[in-house]
Structure 1
Amino acid sequence: MSNNINDLNLKKEIFPLFDYCLNDISKYKLFDLLNFTLKNKEEIYARQIIIKGFIKNESNLENYTYSKIYFHQVHNFLTQASYDELDISKLDLIIFSKVKQEIQSKIIQFTSLFEKILNSFLKKINKTDFPTSYVKDLDYMIDFISFFEIDYYKSLNNYKIKDIISLSKKIKSKKNEFQKFYDILLKSEAYFSISQGCIFNKFTFPSFIDHDISIKDVYHPLLEKPVSNDVFFDKNVILLTGPNMSGKSTFLKSIFISIYLGHLGIAVPAKEANFPFFDYFSISINHQDDLKSGYSHFMNEIISLKKVLEKYHEGKRCFVIFDELFKGTNIEDAIAISSETIKGLLTYNASYFLISTHLHLLNNLNEIKENKTGNFYIESRIENNKPIFTYKLKDGWSDLKIGQILFQNEGITSLLSK
């Protein structure tokens, strides 16, 4: 499902959390899985069961490894190269030693790799830990590899001419099935990689509920010493305040990461998580001017908001984060259109909008005064004329300003007066 998640930075921030892949092609499959949320709760729970199954089989699969070079060479040989070279005769192998050497080398790589996939991975898996639909995939892969009598050929010290011809014929007979086999295998390895990331990071699988967002001890998984927070959002518009450097963007991103990963069927960085199913995701954090297309920061905000509203009117249930919405325009304009936006979004039932803002005058809006919005701030305080940041989420509204304090503490005032 297509979402507006460029600001999530999947490749640099999320992908490494789950990248335990043994080869580059599995990495591509993993990245693909991370890019698209699932269509419904049933698909999500089905994937959860598969990943949980791999978690349960962690000790069974701890020795699963193989040569990355072998994997890519065999993959190219089976899926991309011409099979004409397998049309060999006994006479060819007798006369042309180079032909025999080349074919034998590929067969040795093939048997070595597929023996490890079969005996160190597929046959080590306890199939009772997986749903029936996925067990069919496992059985298919086992039957497919078993067709080649891998254990027999792997046991040979030397390949006789008849062995080379026999296995070559078997490989060629399955040439139209290798792509299907690899599609299933690579997805399985991506699931296995995800399970290792969930184990290492001690993530928790979420549950899906009809209303409200409730997450216990949610944190940003990339921070070395993250501060966790409990969140409970029972309003569809959540406003977040706090001074610069207080951690608003980091907090918003931690929420988005948890809910987004949950919709991939993956465990999340929290002790417990419960939230509704969403059809569309959008995150706008730290936007810059788009010089290539000629859009200013403000115009990007307008376009992003418009796309979200259009998705809602298409019937999508949206989860959206706007970090400092409309900061790209003057204060008067920002307050006016922010007020209009907040009032309008309050009517967008079943979708959730988390908005951070520096526009303190918004607090005069009746909808905010009457707590029709959820109002929170990231705690900060001044001690000995220095800002103290706790990064903890609190109920209410913050009007704390630290710009002048930082300005003075850095000696800017004295430098300007000289």
Structure 2
Amino acid sequence: AAVLEEMFRYPLRDATALNKRGGIIQHFAAEGIAFPFSSIDFDTIEAYLSNTDERSKVSAQDQSIKSKLSNLIVANTDMLLIHKAITSLVELLKGLHSFVQSLKLEPNSFYYEESITMLALKEETISVRLLDQHSGKLHHDLLSEYDMIFRFRNRDSVKKLLRHLYHLDVYLAVAKTAQERHFVFPKASECEELVIEGLYHPQVKNAVANSVQLGNNKNIIFLTGANMAGKSTFMKSLSVAMYLAHMGFPVAAGRMEFPVMDGIYTNINLPDSLGMGASHFYAEVLGLKKVAKELSEGKNLFIVFDELFRGTNVKDAYEATIAVVGAFAAKRRSIFVISTHIIEAGEILKAQHKNLQFLYLPTIMKGSKPVYTYILKEGITNDRHGMVIINNERILEILEEGTNQIGK
């Protein structure tokens, strides 16, 4: 869990490293390989290795419980933990060589270097001769020798080996998910084009897929559409895909090629900051300020703003949208996705900047009922169905009925 969390917290920034990790996971997904050490108690091993108190060493001479307690060496419960951890480590080390051999990796294959490193760490930790001495019950003298090797003499090698195994566990778990969910493996590229075909949200049942292409010539999506048309879901889908791609993980799409960015910033469903006493609009401004500073330092960012400036009045939102999106347009090496209800700003921006891509999610009226396709189209929406929805829900009728009852 710690390794997976680390991968989420610190995405990769190098195309070669990203493609290597993706290649490893893709290979495991294709082969359907399972983690081979599911029965090993890694928590017990970690607890065992964390105790480096010299007084807790297993003595070569078998001592009574009374002597162990009086000399602060080990209590009986500690001895049970030590015995269990050492047994698990021995079984792990014995099984490692067989597992690596079963992979049948060629010298140029993605996981070859890691597999060789693990075998080298195993040999650093303990000799094959000494490891093979254990068969059946672990007698006390051998337990003492293993304890000295694993916990004191070669502890660093054991810890490094475990870290490789934790990475392997993550790779195999992600590979299994990719195989089961039919995710694809994105390719990190040195070019500045983002191409995603068949993008969808991995958590939406029967999700509708969309395709997008962004780059130097068209690096900003100006997204419009009615409420419930799918704008937020599309932006979440794209943001999740970009983040997972920067981890070297598979994504919910048919194909993806992406430029490696210096950072990802998303502002979707932004709440008020009650602790700071900040209004929704001020929270937006603070987020914009942070992004502006990063961009001013020359960083190439992937930036998403959902309903930009919805926290202020229409006039200010209109002027701010034109000004800020216009400033974003000068940052050609970054990628922006901006949704808004201020559709009037779109026509002004279209005339001023050629690197904006105008997309919308349409609403089709079937009688008085709105139907959403969730499929992106080029252009700026002219859908205005707010009053239709209000009338469908009989809001005004309910209010009038309440007024009439009060009058009676």
Fold equivalence (TM over 0.5): yes
Question: Once the two structures are superposed, what CA deviation does each residue of 1:64-85 show, in whole Å capped at 9, x if it has no partner?
Answer: 4115xx3212211112453422
Larger Rg: 2
Structure 2 residue aligned with 1:160: 139
Question: Once the two structures are superposed, what CA deviation does each residue of 1:225-254 show, in whole Å capped at 9, x if it has no partner?
Answer: 211112223511211111001110000111
**Residue 290 (structure 2) pairs with residue 307 (structure 1):** yes
Task: Give, in whole Å, the separation in 1 of the partners of 2:59 and 2:191.
Answer: 63
Change (3 A) 1:374 1:87: same
SS of match in other structure, 2:176: helix
Pairing 1:88-167 to 2, within 5 Å after superposition: 88-92=59-63, 103=79, 106-116=82-92, 118-119=94-95, 121-128=99-106, 129-131=109-111, 133-144=113-124, 146-147=126-127, 152=132, 154-156=134-136, 158-167=137-146
Pairing 1:10-409 to 2, within 5 Å after superposition: 27-59=1-33, 61=34, 64-67=37-40, 70-80=41-51, 82-92=53-63, 103=79, 106-116=82-92, 118-119=94-95, 121-128=99-106, 129-131=109-111, 133-144=113-124, 146-147=126-127, 152=132, 154-156=134-136, 158-171=137-150, 172-207=152-187, 208=189, 210-234=191-215, 235-367=218-350, 372-409=355-392
- Contact conserved, 2:309 with 2:321, CA < 8 A, in 1? yes
Task: Give, in whole Å, the separation in 2 of the partners of 1:291 and 1:114.
Answer: 54
Shift of 1:186: 2.0
Shift of 1:168: 2.6
Change (3 A) 1:102 1:252: closer
Task: Give, in whole Å, the separation in 1 of the partners of 2:62 and 2:193.
Answer: 74
Change (3 A) 1:165 1:214: closer
What stretches of structure 2 of length at least 5 have no aligned partner?
A: 69-73, 402-408
CA RMSD of aligned residues (A): 2.7
Shift of 1:143: 2.4
- Given the two structures, how large is their TM-score scaled by the length of structure 2? 0.86
Change (3 A) 1:58 1:153: farther
Letter in structure 1 aligned against 2:48:
F
SS of match in other structure, 1:299: helix
- Contact conserved, 1:104 with 1:159, CA < 8 A, in 2? no
Task: Give, in whole Å, the separation in 1 of the partners of 2:93 and 2:25.
Answer: 18
Shift of 1:87: 4.5
Structure 2 residue aligned with 1:22: none
- Contact conserved, 1:214 with 1:273, CA < 8 A, in 2? yes
Task: Give, in whole Å, the separation in 2 of the partners of 1:93 and 1:127.
Answer: 50
Task: Give, in whole Å, the separation in 2 of the partners of 1:57 and 1:337.
Answer: 53
Letter in structure 1 aligned against 2:21:
R
Shift of 1:221: 0.4
Letter in structure 1 aligned against 2:26:
K
Aligned residues: 388
Shift of 1:311: 1.3
Change (3 A) 1:30 1:244: same
- Contact conserved, 2:281 with 2:309, CA < 8 A, in 1? yes
Out of 203-212 and 317-326, give the one that drifted further: 203-212
- Contact conserved, 1:122 with 1:142, CA < 8 A, in 2? no
Task: Give, in whole Å, the separation in 1 of the partners of 2:143 and 2:316.
Answer: 77
Percent identity over the alignment is: 26
